[in-house]
């Protein structure tokens, strides 16, 4: 069986404050609606005007917030467009530098590796047979053999020139790579510095917008607080005036008098007005006490009758128990007598069976069969 444990999480302060604010508003609304002194039957013009003012203030606050958000959004869009343009320009410059490097340093005639994308390059580089001394054929082509190389010095000189050219090209490539790396580091530093400056500008803009929003919110809260204080003062003043009117009405009316005629209902004389009733008269109290005494006597008589009936039922139950006990004793005696008669009958029957068995054993079954009787019995059977 899986158990569930309840975890008590701390409540959110903002949610608690919102709930408390709604509860206070509801209490204020109920006090305004259910207060019979200040309740107005029909449309409450003052409450409607207050709601309209609150709605206007809320709309103005929302418009100011939306305007601030719109300004921030426009600024952010401009900054993003500028950053995109800078990134595109840097990408274009880098691609142009790479293309220039390829055109200047990576020409087709300077390559040492094989072009894998052109499989017929070797066929175009080597022409048809030109003679035994053609430089395109080596020993494996069976065109020249050991001891017949007449242009060895030329080949060695060409190899040295090719090696020197390759070495110079490698040195130039290393120097260009170092220069390109230095330029790339410089460009990265400049880009990082520009991004830091842009981030600082954005932070300043955000801080200024936040300060403006806080100032607008503070001014709105201050105006709302002043309005709420004025409403509370007016409400307190109305409450004081209502209390004074209520005290005067209580003093000058029949509510505080002891006249019992004030509490009688003019429509139904047998009823009273709850808000004017001062209590019962001595005659009414005497009548109620008399009725209570009569009810007490009736209740006592009813209780005695119930006790007598319970005693009667109890005596009857005792008599029935005694009768049941006598019947049980009679039943036990009859059962014992029946068992005694059955025992004597069984004993007599056993004596008769024993006498019959003795008669059979002593008189009927006295002659034993001989071998001749068995032989004759077998012969007759065949």
Q: Render pLDDT for 6-44 as a digit per residue (tens, 0 to 9).
A: 445 667 788 888 889 889 988 888 877 777 666 655 566
Q: What's the chain's average pLDDT?
A: 78
Report, as an integer, the average pLDDT of 295-309.
Answer: 92
How far is 134 from 142, CA to CA, in rounded Å?
12
Dihedral-angle region of residue 19 (phi above 0 means left; psi in -120 to 50 means alpha; beta otherwise) = alpha
Alpha carbons 260 and 279: distance in angstroms, whole number:
8
Token match 């206070």: residue? Answer: 24
CB 124 within 8 A of CB 133: no
pLDDT level of residue 133 (50, 70, 90 thresholds): low
| Chain Cα centroid distance, residue 17 | 22
What interhelical angle do 45-105 and 152-252 show, nearest 10? Answer: 180
DSSP three-state, residue 264:
strand
Burial of 209 (0-12, 13-18, 19+ CB in 10 A): middle
The residues near 194 (Cβ < 8 Å, ≥ 6 apart) are 86
Name the token pair of 74: 């426009």
- Cβ atoms of residues 151 and 134 within 8 Å: no
CA torsion angle 215 216 218 223 (round to 10): 140
Tally the residues of the chain: 382
Question: Is a pLDDT exceeding 90 seen at residue 302?
Answer: yes
Confidence grade of residue 137 (pLDDT, cut at 50, 70, 90): low
What would the pLDDT profile of 77-114 be if each residue is shown by its tens digit? 888 888 888 888 888 888 888 888 877 776 655 555 55
pLDDT bin (cut points 50, 70, 90) of residue 117 is: low
Q: What is the largest CA-CA distance in the chain?
A: 165
- Determine the pLDDT at residue 1: 40
Confidence of residue 278 (pLDDT cuts 50, 70, 90): confident
Q: What is the DSSP string of 325-362?
A: HHHHHHHHHHHHHHHHHHHHHHHHHHHHHHHHHHHIII
> What's the average model confidence in pLDDT over 63-68?
83
- Res 344 pLDDT > 60: yes
In tens, the pLDDT along 233-262 reads 998 898 889 888 888 877 776 666 667 777
Say which residue, 377 or 303, is predicted with more confidence.
Answer: 303
CA 296/CA 278 separation, integer angstroms: 28
298 pLDDT higher than 90: yes
Give percent above pLDDT 70 in the chain.
77
pLDDT at 3: 43
Helix, coil or strand: residue 272: strand
C-alpha to C-alpha distances, 229 to 51, 55, 62, 224, 235, nearest whole angstrom: 16, 18, 23, 9, 10
CA distance linking residue 159 with residue 359, whole number of Å: 156
Locate all alpha helices (DSSP H) within the chain, ordered by sequence: 13-34, 45-105, 121-125, 152-252, 282-359, 371-381
End-to-end Cα, the chain, rounded Å: 89
């Amino acid at each position: 069986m899986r158990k569930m444990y309840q975890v008590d999480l701390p409540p959110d302060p903002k949610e608690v404050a919102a709930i408390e604010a709604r509860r206070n508003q509801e209490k204020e609304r109920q006090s305004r609606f259910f207060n019979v002194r200040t309740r107005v039957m029909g449309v409450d013009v003052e409450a409607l005007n207050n709601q309209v003012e609150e709605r206007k203030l809320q709309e103005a606050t929302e418009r100011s917030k939306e305007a601030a958000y719109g300004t921030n959004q426009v600024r952010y869009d401009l900054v993003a467009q500028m950053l995109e343009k800078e990134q595109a320009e840097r990408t274009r410059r880098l691609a142009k530098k790479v293309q220039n490097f390829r055109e200047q340093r990576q020409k087709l005639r300077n390559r040492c590796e094989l072009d894998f994308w052109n499989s017929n390059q070797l066929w175009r580089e080597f022409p048809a047979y030109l003679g035994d001394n053609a430089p395109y054929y080596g020993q494996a082509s069976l065109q020249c053999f050991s001891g017949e190389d007449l242009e060895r010095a030329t080949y060695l000189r060409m190899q040295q020139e090719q090696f020197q050219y390759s070495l110079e090209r490698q040195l130039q490539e290393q120097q260009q790579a170092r220069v390109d790396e230095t330029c790339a580091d410089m460009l990265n530093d400049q880009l990082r510095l520009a991004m830091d400056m842009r981030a600082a500008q954005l932070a300043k803009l955000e801080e200024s917008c936040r300060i403006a929003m806080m100032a607008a919110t503070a001014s709105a809260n201050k105006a709302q607080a002043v309005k709420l204080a004025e409403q509370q003062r007016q409400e307190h003043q109305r409450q004081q005036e209502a209390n004074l009117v209520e005290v005067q009405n209580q003093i000058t009316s029949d509510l505080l008098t002891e006249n019992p005629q004030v509490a009688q209902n003019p429509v139904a004389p047998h009823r009273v007005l709850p808000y004017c009733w001062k209590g019962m008269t001595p005659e009414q109290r005497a009548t109620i006490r008399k009725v209570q005494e009569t009810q007490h006597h009736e209740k006592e008589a009813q209780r005695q009758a119930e006790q007598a009936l319970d005693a009667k039922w109890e005596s009857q139950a005792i008599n029935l128990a005694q009768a049941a006990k006598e019947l049980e004793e009679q039943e036990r005696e009859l059962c014992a007598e029946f068992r005694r008669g059955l025992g004597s009958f069984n004993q007599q029957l056993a004596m008769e069976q024993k006498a019959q068995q003795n008669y059979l054993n002593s008189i009927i079954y006295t002659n034993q069969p001989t071998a001749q009787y068995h032989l004759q019995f077998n012969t007759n059977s065949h």
